[in-house]
Structure 1
Amino acid sequence: MGMPFTIVINLEDFSGTIVLAAESVGEQLQWMEMLQDSGKVTWKNCQLGEAMIESLEAQGLQLAKEKQEYLDKLMEETEELSHQRAQRE
């Protein structure tokens, strides 16, 4: 690349090459530290996180549906009790 402070990254599960160009040794070291610190972030972890989010969203929708069903049933029962009370009075 013609730049003396270049980091080239090749990954098995990523087609292509990632090139990070730094303007100085210090900036290159900062890139390397950040990459080492972020080593726990992988494509598989991202996919797992996405799957977990989708599952939680689906569970949330199901719970909201069940909640609405319970509220509807409660309203029906309340109306029925109110109607029975009015008839007794």
Structure 2
Amino acid sequence: MVVDAIALSAVALALLAAVIGSEARLSRLDKRLKRIEHKLDLLAGHLDVRADDPGLDEVAALVRDGRTIEAIKKYRDVTGAGLREAKEAVERMGAR
């Protein structure tokens, strides 16, 4: 009985360590991906290259209409971005 509890605890700790390690790795990958996307955005801006995405046209229309929260939600749906990234992108659209 005690041996089973110890074994179960050991398995739980191993699983917890694996999850924590995976989350740390995903966090590092997410940061790298954001840096790469930022560099691509800078290059595209420098070269005046625009990506045509019908969903982003709808986001821009919502921004023009002053419907910022809806624009942020739509941006997240279209791009899969997080809340902060979507908010910053919509704010940049409004500044144009």
TM-score by length of 1: 0.53
Please name the residue that 1:12 is paired with.
none
**Higher helix content, 1 or 2:** 2
TM-score by length of 2: 0.49
Aligned partner (choices 42, 47, 69) of residue 88 of structure 1: 47
The answer for unaligned runs of 5 or more in structure 2 is 49-96
Post-superposition, which runs of at least 4 consecutive aligned residues in structure 1 deviate over 6 A? Answer: none
Aligned partner (choices 71, 75, 83) of residue 34 of structure 2: 75
In structure 2, how many angstroms separate the alpha carbons of the residues matched to 1:49 and 1:56?
10
Aligned partner (choices 25, 28, 31) of residue 66 of structure 1: 25
The answer for unaligned runs of 5 or more in structure 1 is 1-41
**Higher strand content, 1 or 2:** 1
Instruction: Report the alpha carbon displacement of residue 80 of structure 1 after superposing the two structures with TM.
Output: 0.3
2:11 maps to amino acid: M
Please name the residue that 1:53 is paired with.
12
- Percent identical across equivalent pairs? 10
Instruction: Report the alpha carbon displacement of residue 51 of structure 1 after superposing the two structures with TM.
Output: 0.3
Instruction: Report the alpha carbon displacement of residue 83 of structure 1 after superposing the two structures with TM.
Output: 0.3
The answer to which structure, 1 or 2, has the higher relative contact order (CA under 8 A, 6+ apart) is: 2
